[in-house]
Amino acid sequence: MNPCVFIIFSLLLLCLETITSNQLVAAGGGDDNDVRNKCSDKERRALLDFKARLQDPDETLSTWRSEEEEDCCNWSGVTCNNQTGRVIELNISSGGLEGEISNSLLNLSYLTHLDVFSNSFHGIIPMFIGSMTRLRYLHLGSNHLNGTIPRSIGSLRKLRHLDLSDNSHCGIIPLEFGNLTNLQVLNLGSLRKSRVWNLEWLSHLSHLEALEMDEISLAKQNYSIDVILRLQKLISLSLDGCEVSHVVYPYSSSFLNSSSSSIESLILSNNNLTTSMYHWLFRLTRNKLRILDLSGNILDGIPKYLEQLPLKSYTSLNSLNLAANKFSGNVPLWIGENLLKLYVLILRSNNFFGTIPLQLCQLEGIRILDLSVNNLHGTIPSCLDNLTSMVQEGFLPTHNVHSYTLKLFYSGGYHYGERDDKYFDHAMIEWKGYERELISTLGLLKSIDLSSNNLTGPIPYEVTKLYGLHALNLSKNSLLGEIPETIGQMKQLETLDLSRNNLSGDMSSSMSSMNFLNHLDVSYNSLSGRIPSNTQLLSFEASRYYGNPRLCGPPLTKNCQGDDESEVPHVIGESEDGGEDMDELWGWFYIGGGTGFVTGFWIVCGALLLNHHRRHAFFHFYDSFKDLVYVKVMVFFANLQRVEHR
Ligand SMILES: *[C@@H]1O[C@H](CO)[C@@H](O)[C@H](O)[C@H]1NC(C)=O
Ligand SMILES: *[C@@H]1O[C@H](CO)[C@@H](O)[C@H](O)[C@H]1NC(C)=O
Ligand SMILES: *[C@@H]1O[C@H](CO)[C@@H](O)[C@H](O)[C@H]1NC(C)=O
Ligand SMILES: *[C@@H]1O[C@H](CO)[C@@H](O)[C@H](O)[C@H]1NC(C)=O
Ligand SMILES: *[C@@H]1O[C@H](CO)[C@@H](O)[C@H](O)[C@H]1NC(C)=O
Ligand SMILES: *[C@@H]1O[C@H](CO)[C@@H](O)[C@H](O)[C@H]1NC(C)=O
Ligand SMILES: *[C@@H]1O[C@H](CO)[C@@H](O)[C@H](O)[C@H]1NC(C)=O
Ligand SMILES: *[C@@H]1O[C@H](CO)[C@@H](O)[C@H](O)[C@H]1NC(C)=O
Ligand SMILES: *[C@@H]1O[C@H](CO)[C@@H](O)[C@H](O)[C@H]1NC(C)=O
Ligand SMILES: *[C@@H]1O[C@H](CO)[C@@H](O)[C@H](O)[C@H]1NC(C)=O
Ligand SMILES: *[C@@H]1O[C@H](CO)[C@@H](O)[C@H](O)[C@H]1NC(C)=O
Ligand SMILES: *[C@@H]1O[C@H](CO)[C@@H](O)[C@H](O)[C@H]1NC(C)=O
């Protein structure tokens, strides 16, 4: 063929095609395979109607406009089938929307994904939801929905992912859920007012991989362990606060014969469990277990006859949380000898005594080590510098963790009761609290907490070789000697609490280079000399230095010997309020200016993508955070001007 003819022919064809498809688009129908159709009028109107019945203070739905020519496939949160132009996904999570779930959704008859997570929807889940039979993904979590959960949800046979968590539903979880045999993820967590009639329905969900029923009472569920064991694909199970210990017969006799499950992540915190639970725990789980959270129970040891077996053999364990139980005796040596893959070890708030076993130094991958609030004595082992992951800076990738369990991976640290006290101080620390929470959900936080024990001797200088450490808490012990001069090497350290020990020596020699911290407490020791005059150390509240009679200089009001009264900067001590504002401000500025910002932001954004629950809390916090920053910045400049005009 002559090339010219070919080109002209092609152009003609192209032209024709464009016209045809435009016509088709305009007609809003047809089966053209190459070009996506515009969304249908019916669906566009349904969406507009849905919007009209909502309050949208954040203007999340501002792209949803009513002009005739608008293609709703282009609207934010709306996804269409790329050929038919039918709306198949509606994702308006975390949009700040308020209102009821209206029946205009019914006209989106091809919808497969509906995600309204973390808004302020109220009222009931309407019965009609059961007619949206194409749904495969339904996430209504973290709203204010109430009433009973409609049984019609049981007709959504194609559902793979169902999340109703964190709402105010009452009544019984419908037995019809047993018809949802394709479910892979079921989250009924934090539905405090809901109950289960029995668990028989659960045993039909043979594809279930992740199940969360936090705070729903299982107190009357005999043989519930048998049911769980029948879920052969279950990877992640969370039963926090489910009154599991009230069950008279947790398992049947035939259970003892059955094979083990494939559970990798098991959360049984806050259930008042006693050691008799080991009977079923060790059968329920085998050495696939990666995450075990038994915090907030009343376990007091491992029975002699079981000592040879179970916990020791969980050699794949990454996260072990035994906080807030009644364990006593020495910290078991086998933790350090056998559980070599631990990233997280939390033994907080028990009654462990004896010395810190050197075997713990073999846990090279450990990132969170919390032995606080026990009765440990002796010295801090100098072999801590063998904890290589804490020596290395930067983030270590989390290998081979299933996405269901990733969310829970480091929740290890946040299931025991005191979490709020621990992370909230004043506004700056509140921010820190969230940041830390977010960091730790991704497994990025590196922290050692040995506080509230009876440790003696000096702080070994080897500790200061943990260059990657973000937080170190040694407060409320009986530590002696000077703060190692090399502590200034720990550039990643954001939080350092050495309060309430017997540390002595001159602060300026050890800490003058620590201008990167944003939380420091050295109160109630025997430190002496001038507080080093770098900005960061001056920026903390005076109370962080109280109780050291021989410490002097700002921010304390006590002058050092030989200081001329007029040389003391007046900015900080000027007034109570002004001083505190300045303290916080330096903190904020540090967050904005230091490494904290880049990593912090990356971490926050990264974590937000992954972590729904926290995101909800975070955005609420973020709003007040914006205001706070604004106010603080204004106060800062006002203070600055006052100083300049002096
Ligand atoms: C979608 O919106 C973008 C800009 O917002 C525009 O460029 C594009 O043409 C729109 N597409 C359709 C199919 O309307
Ligand atoms: C259309 O969607 C299908 C599946 O949803 C996808 O595999 C395909 O790549 C999409 N095509 C285009 C052009 O986006
Ligand atoms: C909805 O959007 C959020 C944030 O953009 C995302 O994390 C979530 O996975 C989406 N939901 C679905 C079902 O795709
Ligand atoms: C659904 O669409 C039909 C036809 O467009 C309309 O008559 C009806 O009112 C719509 N229903 C809802 C609930 O919006
Ligand atoms: C559900 O919440 C609404 C307010 O959104 C309230 O009027 C109603 O009484 C609540 N119903 C139940 C059963 O709690
Ligand atoms: C759905 O569940 C209910 C209650 O468990 C049951 O009676 C009914 O037979 C189930 N329907 C089907 C079609 O399996
Ligand atoms: C569980 O077993 C106990 C003891 O036999 C019995 O009293 C109780 O009624 C059983 N609970 C249920 C829900 O069957
Ligand atoms: C358990 O298995 C043993 C032999 O493997 C059998 O004798 C016993 O009856 C089984 N027990 C139950 C309750 O199934
Ligand atoms: C655990 O026991 C305490 C005291 O006996 C009781 O107050 C608490 O409600 C129990 N918690 C659970 C989850 O059973
Ligand atoms: C610390 O590491 C060194 C060198 O790898 C090793 O010789 C020593 O035994 C380790 N100490 C402990 C207590 O594990
Ligand atoms: C350090 O631990 C003590 C006691 O366990 C606690 O009161 C204090 O708040 C902790 N410090 C920080 C900065 O978290
Ligand atoms: C801490 O240890 C010291 C010396 O070993 C001892 O005198 C003191 O009673 C211990 N304090 C506690 C609370 O155990």
Is the minimum distance from the CB of 254 to ligand 8 under 6 angstroms? yes
Q: How far is the CA of 193 from the centre of ligand 11 (A)?
A: 34
Centroid of ligand 6 to alpha carbon of 201 (angstroms): 10
**582/586 Cα distance (integer angstroms):** 6
Share of the chain above pLDDT 90, in %: 37
> Given this model, what pLDDT does residue 256 score?
67
Contacts of 506 by beta carbon, 8 Å cutoff, 6+ apart: 482, 527, 528, 529
Q: Residue 627 carries which side chain, given as an amino acid letter?
A: D
Residue 554 has pLDDT above 80, yes or no: yes
Encode pLDDT of 51-91 as tens digits: 999 999 999 999 998 887 778 898 999 999 988 889 999 99
Which residue, 423, 391, 397, 424, is CA-closest to 409? Answer: 397
CA dihedral sign, ordered 478, 482, 485, 488: positive
Measured in Å, residue 64 CA sits from the centre of ligand 9 at 50
Tell me the backbone φ, ψ of residue 218, rounded to 5 degrees.
-110, 20
Q: Which atom of ligand 8 is nearest to the CA of 252?
A: 13
Q: For 536, how many CA atoms within 13 A lie in the half-sphere containing its CB?
A: 22
pLDDT tens string 266-293 = 889 899 998 888 878 877 777 678 888 8
Does the Cβ of 122 fall within 6 Å of ligand 5? yes
Instruction: For the beta carbon of residue 494, count every other beta carbon within 10 angstroms.
Output: 26
Q: What pLDDT does residue 257 have? A: 67
Question: In this structure, which ligand is nearest to the CA of 373?
Answer: 11
Q: What angle do CA 481, 483, 486 make, to 5 degrees?
A: 130
3-state secondary structure 219-248: CCCCCHHHHHHHCCCCCEEECCCCCHHHCC
Q: Whose CA is nearest to atom 4 of ligand 7?
A: 248
- Looking at the predicted structure, is the pLDDT value of residue 306 above 70? no
pLDDT tens digits, residue range 237-253? 889 899 988 887 887 77
Of 498-502, 567-571, 620-624, the least confident: 620-624
Give how far the C-alpha of residue 428 lies from the chain's centroid of Cα atoms, to the nearest Å.
19
Tell me how far apart the alpha carbons of residues 535 and 517 are, in angstroms, rounded to a whole number: 11
- Ligand 8 atom closest to the Cα of residue 254 is 13
Ligand 5: which of 54, 146, 192 to mutate, judged by most atoms within 8 Å of the beta carbon?
146
Name the residue with tokens 């001159």: 506
Establish whether residue 454 lines the binding site of ligand 1, counting it when its CB lies within 6 angstroms of any ligand atom: no
What is residue 136's three-state secondary structure?
coil
Nearest-atom index, ligand 10, CA of 385:
1
Mean pLDDT of 216-244: 87
Q: Assess contact for 331 and 361: CB atoms under 8 A.
A: no
What pLDDT does 564 receive? 57
What is the pLDDT, as a whole number, of residue 574? 36
pLDDT surpassing 80 at residue 515:
no
> Pocket of ligand 12, candidates 351, 379, 454: which has the most ligand atoms within 8 Å of its Cβ, to mutate?
454
Name the band, by pLDDT with cuts 50, 70 and 90, for residue 216.
very high
3-state helix, strand, coil in the chain (%, to 5): 35, 15, 45
pLDDT band per the 50, 70, 90 thresholds, residue 581: very low
Nearest alpha carbon, ligand 4 atom 5: 42
Closest CA to 100 of 136, 143, 64: 143
The neighbour count for residue 210, using CB atoms within 10 Å, is 23
- Residue 234 token pair: 């279950």
Residue 521 has pLDDT above 60, yes or no: yes
In this prediction, residue 438 carries a pLDDT of 39
pLDDT in tens, 89-133: 999 998 999 999 999 999 999 999 999 998 999 999 999 999 999
Note the ligand closest to the C-alpha atom of 456: 12
Q: Whose CA is nearest to atom 14 of ligand 11?
A: 422
Q: Which of 143-157, 197-211, 507-521, 621-635 has the lowest mean pLDDT?
A: 621-635
Q: Compare 226 and 384 and report the one with higher pLDDT.
A: 384
Confidence at 426, pLDDT banded by 50, 70, 90: very low
Pull the structure tokens for residue 129. Answer: 């939801």
Ligand 12: centre distance to CA 377 (Å): 8
For ligand 7, the distance from its centroid to the CA atom of residue 249, given in whole angstroms, is 8
Q: What percentage of residues in the chain have a pLDDT greater than 70?
A: 70
Ligand nearest to the CA of 270: 9
Ligand 2: distance of its center to the CA of 37 in Å?
Answer: 13
Cα 386 to middle of ligand 10, angstroms: 6
Nearest CA residue ID for atom 14, ligand 6: 179
Quote the CA–CA distance of 123 and 120 in Å, as a whole number: 10
> How many A from CA of 108 to the centre of ligand 4?
10
Which listed ligand is nearest to 121 at the C-alpha? 5
Is the full-model pTM beyond 0.85? no
* Each residue's pLDDT tens digit, 369-395: 999 999 999 999 999 999 988 888 765
pLDDT at 307: 55
Strands 54-55 and 98-99: antiparallel
CA-derived radius of gyration, the chain: 30
pLDDT band at 406; cut points 50, 70, 90: very low
Burial class for 326, CB neighbours closer than 10 Å (0-12, 13-18, 19+): middle
b/e burial code for range 248-274 (CB count within 10 A of at least 16 → b): eebbeeebeeeeebebbbbbbbbbebe
Peptide bond into 555 cis (omega under 30): yes
Q: How remote is the CA of residue 47 from the centroid of ligand 11, in Å?
A: 50
Ligand 5 centroid–CA 344 distance in Å is 42
Q: What is the pairing mode between strands 87-91 and 78-80?
A: antiparallel
As a residue count, the chain comes to: 646
Question: For residue 642, is it left (φ>0), alpha (ψ between -120 and 50) or beta?
Answer: alpha
- Please compute the mean of the pLDDT values over residues 166-179 and round it to a whole number: 93
At 252 the pLDDT is: 78
Mean pLDDT of 292-320: 75
Range of lowest pLDDT (22-36, 275-289, 612-626) = 612-626
So what's the pLDDT on residue 96? Answer: 92
Mean pLDDT of the chain: 75
Residue 480: predicted pLDDT: 95
Q: Report CA 365 to chain centroid distance, whole Å.
A: 20
What is the atom index within ligand 6 of the atom nearest the CA of 175? 5
Task: Tell me: pLDDT of 203 over 50.
Answer: yes
The SS3 assignment for 568 reads coil
Which residue did the predictor score with more confidence, 400 or 51? 51
Find out whether the beta carbon of 315 lies less than 6 Å from any atom of ligand 1.
Answer: no
Cα(318) to centroid of ligand 10, in Å? Answer: 21
- Distance CA(569)–CA(537), nearest Å, equals 14
**Residue 291's pLDDT is what?**
82
pLDDT of residue 180: 96
Query: Which range has highest mean pLDDT (189-193, 544-548, 629-633)?
Result: 544-548
Amino acid, res. 507: M
Ligand 3 centroid–CA 91 distance in Å is 6
Residues in CB range of 513: below 8 A, 6 or more apart: 488, 534
pLDDT(448) > 50? yes
Average pLDDT over residues 255-273: 81
Q: How far apart are CA 410 and CA 486, in angstroms?
A: 30
Taking a C-beta distance cutoff of 8 angstroms, is the pair 401, 412 a contact? no
Residue 8: per-residue pLDDT: 40
> How remote is the CA of residue 169 from the centroid of ligand 5, in Å?
10
DSSP assignment of 329-362, as one string?
Answer: EEPPHHHHHH-TT-SEEE--SSEEEEPPPGGGGG
Query: Which fold is adopted by the domain 37-208?
Result: 3.80.10
DSSP 199: S
3-state SS assignment for residue 147: coil
Question: Looking up tokens 């300049």, which residue turns up?
Answer: 644
DSSP summary character for residue 36 = P
Nearest CA to ligand 6 atom 7: 176
257 lines ligand 8 (CB under 6 A): yes
CA 467 – ligand 10 centroid, Å: 18
What residue's CA is closest to ligand 5, atom 2? 123
Residue 519: DSSP 8-state? E
Choose between 425 and 560: higher pLDDT. 560
Instruction: Say what the pLDDT of residue 276 is.
Output: 83
Confidence band of 468 (pLDDT split at 50, 70, 90): confident
Tell me the backbone φ, ψ of residue 561, rounded to 5 degrees: -60, 135
List C-alpha distances in Å: 438 to 208, 351, 414. 27, 29, 11
Q: Which band of pLDDT confidence, cut at 50, 70 and 90, is reported for residue 613? A: very low
From the CA of 202, the nearest ligand is: 6
Closest-approaching ligand to the CA atom of 502: 12
Residues linked to residue 457 through DSSP beta bridges, in sequence order: 479
pLDDT: which is higher, 166 or 477: 477
DSSP lists the bridge partners of residue 552 as: 530
Q: What is the pLDDT of residue 357?
A: 95
253 lines ligand 8 (CB under 6 A): yes
When mean pLDDT is compared across 23-32, 153-162, 455-464, 521-530, the lowest value belongs to 23-32
Q: Are 129 and 155 in contact (CB under 8 A)?
A: no
* CB of 272 closer than 6 angstroms to any ligand 9 atom: yes
